[in-house]
Amino acid sequence: MFTGIITGIGTLLERDDAGETRFRIASGYDPDSVEIGASIAHDGCCLTVIDKGRLDDGRMWHDVQLSAETLGKTTLGGWQPGQRMNLERALKVGDELGGHYVSGHVDGLGEIVSITPAGESRIFRFAVPEELARFIAPKGSVALNGASLTVNVVDGCAFEVNIIPHTLSATTFGQAQAGDVVNVEIDMLARYVARLVAFEGC
């Protein structure tokens, strides 16, 4: 379980597609604080740490394996060395819940339609498939590339969020451009409400 509050930015160092795809990621985490088997969200996709170590510059590296399902249904399938991503370590009991409950299971992909300056912030407009759009509501939460964001405006299959300077600097959204594809995880509360409304019995 995660909160959508990004705690680091990682960089893909190596990609090995021999057998099950394996990524090696560099980050600023302390390797002594990350256990083998730990869950880390990579642009919103929960992956398990299978190996770790320390780079010559003191940063941590960790390895993860990715299934064909993950590669095919998230942005991770197109990642190549040099790719930067938002990282979040799993929520611990007693941690502050600053965002919203995020599972780390990507529901689909969206696209940045436009980015408009608004003072020091930026208004991002996203487009998503119709099957995801029905779960997105004004003032509701959505996880985009793992970051918990509040929806300001909904317009059919498009919606807008206002990203403040802190979030721009603490995530990869500071370097995002129109046309970029993002991982989308809808609010799990919205998912369950929709299920309850639609349920007609067994």
H or E element: which one contains 168? helix 165-170
3-state secondary structure of 43: coil
Q: Tell me the C-alpha distance between 63 and 121, whole Å.
A: 34
Rounded CA-CA distance 191/38 in Å is 26
* Distance, CA of 136 to CA of 158 (rounded, Å): 9
pLDDT(20) > 80: yes
Which residue's structure tokens are 């919606």? 159
Spatial separation of the C-alpha atoms in residues 113 and 193, rounded to whole Å: 28
pLDDT of residue 176: 98
* Confidence band for 27, pLDDT divided at 50, 70 and 90: very high
Q: Which of 170, 24, 34, 51 is nearest to 99 (CA)?
A: 170
Binning pLDDT at 50, 70 and 90, where does residue 196 land? low
Whole-prediction pTM = 0.92
Tell me what pLDDT residue 168 has: 97
Which of 166, 176, 169 has the alpha carbon at shortest distance from 116?
176
Residue 102 has a pLDDT of: 87
- Site of tokens 């942005």: 75
In the chain the domains, ranked by start, together with CATH numbers, are 8-89 (2.40.30.20), 108-198 (2.40.30.20)
CA distance 24 to 50: 10
Scored b (16 or more CB within 10 A) or e, 170-191 reads bbbbeebeeebebbbbbbbebe
> Residue 188: is its pLDDT beyond 90?
no
pLDDT top residue among 11 and 91: 11
- Statement: residue 41 has pLDDT above 80: yes
Mean pLDDT of all residues in 48-59: 96
**Does 1 score more than 90 pLDDT?**
no
Residue 8 backbone phi and psi in degrees, to 5: -175, 165
Round to whole Å and give the CA distance between 71 and 47: 12
Which residues, including other chains, have CB under 8 Å from residue 19's CB and lie 6 or more apart? none
Range scoring the smallest mean pLDDT among 78-82, 127-131, 194-198: 194-198
Residue 15, pLDDT > 80, answer yes
Calculate mean pLDDT across residues 41-52.
98
Residues of the chain with pLDDT > 90, as a percent, come to: 82
Give pLDDT, residue 93: 59
What pLDDT shows up at residue 99? Answer: 64
pLDDT tens digit sequence for 84-129:
999 999 977 556 666 677 889 999 999 999 999 999 999 999 999 9
> What does pLDDT average to over the chain?
92
